[in-house]
Amino acid sequence: MALFDKYRADPFVLFPPRGPFARLLTKILLYLFLYGTAFFLLPHSLVTPGGTLFSLFVLYTLTEVFGVIAKQLMFLPSLVGMIVAGIFVSNIQFFQYQVDNHVSSSLRNVAFIALLARAGLELDTEALMKMKRVCLLMSFVPGVMAESPVVAVLSWWILGLPWGWAFMIGFIMAAVSPAIVVACIIKIQQKGYGTAKGIPTLVIASSSVDDIVAICCFSVAMTVTFATGSVVWVACKAPIEFIAGAVPGALIGVIFWYLPAEGDRHKTFLRYAMLFIGGMTAFFGAELAHSHGAGPLFVITVAFTASRKWGHDTHAVEKAFGITWRYLAPLLFGLIGAELKLDLLDISVLGIALVIVVFGVLARLVAAFVCCMGVGLNFKEKLFVSISSIPKATVQAAIGSVPLDVVRQLKDDPEYENVYQSYESWALKILAIAVVSVILTAPLGAVLTTVTGPLLLEKDSLTAPETALNGDIETNSKSKTKSAESVAELQGEIVMKNFDPEDHTEI
């Protein structure tokens, strides 16, 4: 039963506050206290209108409000409202939104790391090995080999972009948004849908590698177009980044088998802290080395490897990351929305951009469906895997404006004087397509993935986490539950008594 059904007669009870409304008021009050503390301690340039902390406070508060509105009143995933809140705050002058790009990127990545670690803990070894061929195909074919060429050809044919520029936007569009995909898939996985055949594991694993391939291909296209750097080196970055992320992640994960010691009373907290902080260290180190794909792979790999030996404690660490994610999710999706600057859009090409995005997504859906053939998935399951690859947000918001940034750096270069106007026009068209793709596919993909999961996937009764609405018990969401684990849960080792189902913010 949805939370909204429980309060359908009176969803926003004013006194005494209860349900989602009470939770929202509690969070806003908490944020006010935090902002007040910062106001009295830090320079006023940071905490007054136009300051970084003031902007983050307004953004964070409104993402919570918009998230509740989207979920409780519009029956949409909360992340849709959060992304809209980010767009709203950053494009309305009244809010005086000013957040440095580096600060915004760092905060998004912290939230993303928590999500990736949680995803790594949820991965199923047997399912991953069973689906390895499909996982490999899904990492390359739907995005780089299907959607990208379609978008490139249409951009060349309709918008008149040169081939180099056309493939730049093609590869930008080839990447899915792991932030949205993983958030939606974890929610479905915890309810037990598709777990018997390893569908959540397939989608999570392939979405991470898909991004690496797309970003590397985009870098190659950029290098060829602007004739900077070694094309051979850029082309080799994909396998190098894969190795640089997966191998150290596996090694550190093995170390986490033995540290902290099994008998340590605080092992759950220490495992959570080491995984989170270690993931941030590797992620930001990879970013500094311009190896953008290695960081996410490291975090997923170290969490996956470590959880193989953690036993019952895996679920407790998973719960800790679940709580962390609930409070970081508004920051991630709000900042993603805030990256979309509508004043930079070339309004004249929005209609054409919409056509290009739609045909690109259709090509991706067909290719993803074909990749799932021959592995025992039925029609509905193949359709779901295809649908789950629709959302775009993180990569498009992050690199959609990169060509424009590069072009504007060439403004005073005499070598580009004759082509600067054309370059700027093409870069603005690329940005328009990227923004349209986020606005269209992020909410649509999230809604379709969340809604169609229970409709298209079979529920595994052995793995579904039956969270009681009366808040008495929550069973383990890992793969097959053994009787010994059930006894341990009932003894209180990994189960939380009086668990409040409203505490699950369904992003």
In this prediction, residues 303-312 reach a mean pLDDT of: 88
Residue 344 and residue 100 in contact, taking contact as beta carbons nearer than 8 Å? no
In this prediction, residues 247-262 reach a mean pLDDT of: 91
> Which of 227-231, 369-373, 428-432, 456-460 is predicted with the least confidence, judged by mean pLDDT?
227-231
Q: Which of 56-60, 82-86, 410-414, 470-474 has the highest mean pLDDT?
A: 56-60
> Which of 423-432, 447-456, 481-490 is predicted with the least confidence, judged by mean pLDDT?
481-490
Contacts of 50 (CB under 8 A, 6+ apart): 96, 98
Statement: residue 37 has pLDDT above 70? yes
Q: In the structure, what pLDDT confidence band is assigned to residue 57 with cuts at 50, 70 and 90?
A: very high
Higher-pLDDT residue of 290 and 61 is: 61
pLDDT in tens, 473-493: 233 344 434 444 443 343 333
In this prediction, residue 84 carries a pLDDT of 87
In this prediction, residue 462 carries a pLDDT of 56
Statement: residue 276 has pLDDT above 90? yes
Q: How far apart are CA 206 and CA 214, in angstroms?
A: 12
Q: In the structure, what pLDDT confidence band is assigned to residue 258 with cuts at 50, 70 and 90?
A: very high
In this prediction, residue 497 carries a pLDDT of 35
Higher-pLDDT residue of 221 and 33 is: 33
**What percent of the chain shows pLDDT beyond 70?**
82
In this prediction, residue 482 carries a pLDDT of 41
Contacts of 311 (CB under 8 A, 6+ apart): none
Residue 471 and residue 500 in contact, taking contact as beta carbons nearer than 8 Å? yes
SS3 263: coil
Q: How far apart are CA 55 and CA 45, in angstroms?
A: 11
Q: Which of 9-13, 277-281, 334-338 has the highest mean pLDDT?
A: 277-281
In this prediction, residue 124 carries a pLDDT of 67
Q: 336-348 burial by CB neighbour count: b if 16+ within 10 A, else e?
A: bbbbbeeeebbee
Statement: residue 82 has pLDDT above 80? yes
Which residues, listed in sequence order, are joined to residue 459 by a DSSP beta bridge?
193
In this prediction, residue 40 carries a pLDDT of 93
Residue 301 and residue 314 in contact, taking contact as beta carbons nearer than 8 Å? no
In this prediction, residue 466 carries a pLDDT of 38
